[in-house]
Chain A
Amino acid sequence: MNKFKTVLVQPILAMLIGVAMVSGAQARDQIEIVGSSTVFPFATSVAEQFGRTSKFKTPVVESTGSGGGLKLFCAGIGLEHPDITNASRRIKGKEFKNCQAKGIDITEIVVGFDGIVLANAKGAPQLNLTRQQIYLATAKMVPNPDKPCQSNWCEPVKNPYMKWSDIDASLPDVKIEILGPPPTSGTRDAFQELAMSKGANKFPHMKKLKKADKSMWKKLTRTVREDGAWIDAGENDNLMVQKLSANPKAVGVFGFSFLDQNSDRLKGAIVEGVEPSFENIADGKYGISRSLYFYIKQAHVGTVPGISEFVAEFTSEKAFGEDGYLVDKGLIPLPASERQKYRNDGKNLTKLSM
């Protein structure tokens, strides 16, 4: 019986005491970062470099998605909450209000651009698309091609386009098969907003609808088809690259860095006559690109050691500059004047107001 006590009961007691002790004292000497999976590869690169070259511990970076990150970030001030959150879109007004309600003052830093590309295997035909064609290939409901449109309204029908050549005779005579990011992903949000909605607006009636009934417009332009032509694949996933190179008919939707790293296997579709290249995205010529952000919790600067230094590292020329190591990881840098602006914002902890 004594043996039984030592074997079974004591560890439980020890655990409970341990739990109680840990929850009592919680000092932190390590920066905690959450947020977007698109910014994740850049934030982790900076974190690693920062850990190597400074006297501080390597920050912990969690990939929670932009929305999930902002939710955790705005939950409160205190060491159990993260210090920085990454986002592949700007903070929304509602999220900002939630943050304000908790008394959290934040600083906004734009780190660079990310292009969203459509790519297929090297051996497959080169796609040359307009955003309108992208919309027609991916939306669930499209204007009825057999009925002429009125000035204000087109009858929406279930997407009838099964081959690229059904959309436009210049496109290849191949079944539409798109591997895209899942609904939880910020890449998908950006694709819907920048490619699909903008493509839909090429129809005059859609532009009018946007003003008249925004929620209907959103529903029509941003719902992805569910008939099998669009397949939810991993987001930014090396498996997707392998699937694409094995299946020349398939087209993938993902961040530019994957195209950049796999330029020997994949080629990007030309969108609106512009090739998805580093230069074209940096110049803003390539249409489907977005800014990447991170947000700093001002109250934690000085409490958690190293936040200012980490921000300085992230916004240094050797990181997010034109020849910086983040560029090697696929980040597309901001113009020099903007880099200077955000470097100053980071230094002075300029308060964001909306």
Chain B
Amino acid sequence: MTDHSNLTSHAEAYEARLKKRYRAERRFRAYGMAAIITAGMILVFLLSSIVYSSLPAFSHHHMRLDIEVSSDYVSADAPEQGNYLGLVRSALRDQFHDVSGRRDKRALYKILSIGASDEVQKRVIANPDLVGTRLSLDVPLSDDIDLMLKGLIDRTLPESDRIVSDRDLAWVDKLLAEDRISRKFAVALFANGDSREPEMAGIRGALAGSLWTLLVTLIVSFPLGVLAAIYLEEVAPKNRATALIEVNINNLAAVPSIVYGLLGLAVFINFFHLPRSAPLVGGLVLALMTLPRIIIPTRAAFASIPPSIREAALGVGASRTQVIMHHVLPLAMPGILTGTIIGLAQAAGETAPLLMIGMMAFIVDVPGDVTAKATVLPAQIYMWANNPERAFVARTSAGIVVLLTLLLVVNATAIYFRRRFEKRW
């Protein structure tokens, strides 16, 4: 029965090969899993460390201050010209009767934030009748006291090793004993523009700057990019000239962004004399950078529409423009929008080109239009990271959280559009 033994040896070899193939498959899966798990863990580590270090920035300690809105400091006739800082300081002195002497008083004032008088000022200007009455308000404490209360400055260290002095500690303990200190949501983080005092510094100016900049980018790059893509894909003859253009567009997408910044500086600011540090210039520079990133996916979206659609439309007598406008463009829209949104998201995270055109700047006022001085979110994050005050560490992370949230929303919108309108052939 040689045949039979031959058959068994064949079967064994087959079994062995099969096992080997299964093993290879399992290994392959394991590698894939390992890759995903590693990437996932890095992401989780990154996000959790950023979110964790940002947490202190979302709350701030306030103290309840009983303020006598005396007419010595503010007059009801002209509440705008009142000395609100003096008012708040005198209220603080009333709280600590035993503090005397110029130096001691100055040290005492430092436990309050420089923004402590803002709320009083706002209320009295809105309602001048408050002059002469007594207000009880929660006013923000200074950044160092706040960090100490959050446990980020260790109060058990010897006095020479910490920023907060023993005297500050005694004052704060007195306030704690009187139950005057409360921890509140840090409204300033979202309501204010930039500031040199961490507790007053907010993201609103940078957020507005980013939105104005992206608006300009969108208005300029979307129509230009889509028109260029339509022309190249649907209308232009395929010859050397268009091939050259195509190579250049693909190349431009890979040019480092700082180059666009230098171009923007030379063309928009030095030649056209547009204002420095303005979202208008920033948006134009980012539009140049985004153009190839819109053209390429738009062309891909057009290329993915089956020729039968065009032929059918031509067959029933549509002109070429009608074919494009009535049939191809609407079908390609989801792809175009996805490309545009991802291009804009990339532009939103860009700092290097904006450095050259002056958008890396300390700007307190929230920009109201595209020519106002403005900065953008990533630039703001960078500037906060460079500040020496300890509380800016948490502020920096909070800025990153806001930027990540913005990008997440933008990218989720892109996915939604794709899912909602995508057609498969």
- Per the bound structure, the CA–CA distance linking A195 and B153 in Å amounts to 33
Which of B196, B219, B280, B386 is the most central at the interface, judged by chain A CB atoms within 10 Å of its CB? B196
Over the window 315-326 of chain B, the binary record of Cβ atoms lying under 8 Å from chain A Cβ atoms (1 yes, 0 no) is: 000000100010
Which of B103, B325, B386, B396 is the most central at the interface, judged by chain A CB atoms within 10 Å of its CB? B386
**CB <8 Å contact, B371 and A236:** no
**CB <8 Å contact, A60 and B386:** no
**CB <8 Å contact, A62 and B157:** no
Q: Chain A residues near B269: list those with CB within 8 A.
A: 80
Which of A22, A47, A58, A258 touches B388 (beta carbons < 8 Å)? A258
Given contact pairs A261-B388, A329-B196, A57 touches B365 in the complex (Cβ within 8 A): yes
B381 to chain A, nearest CB (A): 12
B367 to chain A, nearest CB (A): 11
A35 to chain B, nearest CB (A): 11
Over the window 320-349 of chain A, the binary record of Cβ atoms lying under 8 Å from chain B Cβ atoms (1 yes, 0 no) is: 000100001110000000000000000000
**CB <8 Å contact, A239 and B385:** yes
Question: For the complex, is A234 an interface residue (Cβ under 8 Å from B)?
Answer: yes
Q: Chain B residues near A26: list those with CB within 8 A.
A: 273, 275
Question: For the complex, is A150 an interface residue (Cβ under 8 Å from B)?
Answer: no
**CB <8 Å contact, B280 and A238:** no
**CB <8 Å contact, B220 and A12:** yes
Chain B, interface SS category: loop
Given contact pairs A62-B277, A238-B386, A4 touches B325 in the complex (Cβ within 8 A): yes
B323 to chain A, nearest CB (A): 13
Q: Which residue of B lies closest to A242 (CB)?
A: B393
- Per the bound structure, the CA–CA distance linking A8 and B361 in Å amounts to 33
Given contact pairs A23-B272, A263-B161, A264-B162, A60 touches B383 in the complex (Cβ within 8 A): no
A92 to chain B, nearest CB (A): 23
Question: For the complex, is A262 an interface residue (Cβ under 8 Å from B)?
Answer: yes
B82 to chain A, nearest CB (A): 13
Q: Chain A residues near B161: list those with CB within 8 A.
A: 122, 263-264
Question: For the complex, is B313 an interface residue (Cβ under 8 Å from A)?
Answer: no
**CB <8 Å contact, A238 and B385:** yes
Q: Chain B residues near A7: list those with CB within 8 A.
A: 223
**CB <8 Å contact, B396 and A238:** yes
**CB <8 Å contact, A264 and B163:** yes
Q: Chain A residues near B114: list those with CB within 8 A.
A: 52
Given contact pairs A22-B274, A41-B388, A237-B386, A263 touches B162 in the complex (Cβ within 8 A): yes
Q: Chain B residues near A15: list those with CB within 8 A.
A: 216, 219-220
Given contact pairs A22-B275, A264-B161, A323-B106, A12 touches B223 in the complex (Cβ within 8 A): yes
Q: Which residue of A lies closest to B372 (CB)?
A: A30
**CB <8 Å contact, B160 and A62:** no
**CB <8 Å contact, A60 and B196:** no
What is the interface size of chain B, counting residues whose CB is below 8 A from a CB of the partner? 51
Over the window 31-42 of chain A, the binary record of Cβ atoms lying under 8 Å from chain B Cβ atoms (1 yes, 0 no) is: 010100100110
Question: For the complex, is A51 an interface residue (Cβ under 8 Å from B)?
Answer: yes
Over the window 149-189 of chain B, the binary record of Cβ atoms lying under 8 Å from chain A Cβ atoms (1 yes, 0 no) is: 00001100100111100000000000000000000000000
Question: For the complex, is A311 an interface residue (Cβ under 8 Å from B)?
Answer: no
Q: Chain A residues near B195: list those with CB within 8 A.
A: 48
Q: Chain B residues near A23: list those with CB within 8 A.
A: 272-274
Given contact pairs A8-B227, A41-B196, A238-B396, A80 touches B371 in the complex (Cβ within 8 A): no
Given contact pairs A19-B272, A19-B274, A263 touches B160 in the complex (Cβ within 8 A): yes
Over the window 1-30 of chain A, the binary record of Cβ atoms lying under 8 Å from chain B Cβ atoms (1 yes, 0 no) is: 100100111011011001100110010001
Question: For the complex, is B276 an interface residue (Cβ under 8 Å from A)?
Answer: yes
Q: Which residue of B lies closest to A262 (CB)?
A: B390
Q: Chain B residues near A45: list those with CB within 8 A.
A: 196
Question: For the complex, is A257 an interface residue (Cβ under 8 Å from B)?
Answer: yes
B194 to chain A, nearest CB (A): 8
Which of B163, B220, B276 is the most central at the interface, judged by chain A CB atoms within 10 Å of its CB? B276
**CB <8 Å contact, B272 and A60:** no
Question: For the complex, is B358 an interface residue (Cβ under 8 Å from A)?
Answer: yes
B1 to chain A, nearest CB (A): 73
- Per the bound structure, the CA–CA distance linking A235 and B382 in Å amounts to 12
Question: For the complex, is B389 an interface residue (Cβ under 8 Å from A)?
Answer: yes
Question: For the complex, is A308 an interface residue (Cβ under 8 Å from B)?
Answer: no
Q: Chain B residues near A98: list those with CB within 8 A.
A: none
10 contacts between A and B (CB under 8 A): A19-B272, A61-B362, A62-B276, A62-B277, A80-B275, A236-B386, A237-B385, A238-B388, A238-B390, A238-B392
Interface residues, chain B, with chain A CB atoms under 8 Å away: 103, 106, 110, 114, 153-154, 157, 160-163, 195-197, 216, 219-220, 223-224, 226-227, 269, 272-277, 280, 321, 325, 358, 360-365, 370-371, 373, 383, 385-390, 392-393, 396
Given contacts A8-B223, A30-B373, A235-B386, 9 further A-B contacts (CB under 8 A): A15-B216, A22-B280, A45-B196, A47-B362, A60-B362, A234-B386, A238-B387, A263-B163, A264-B154
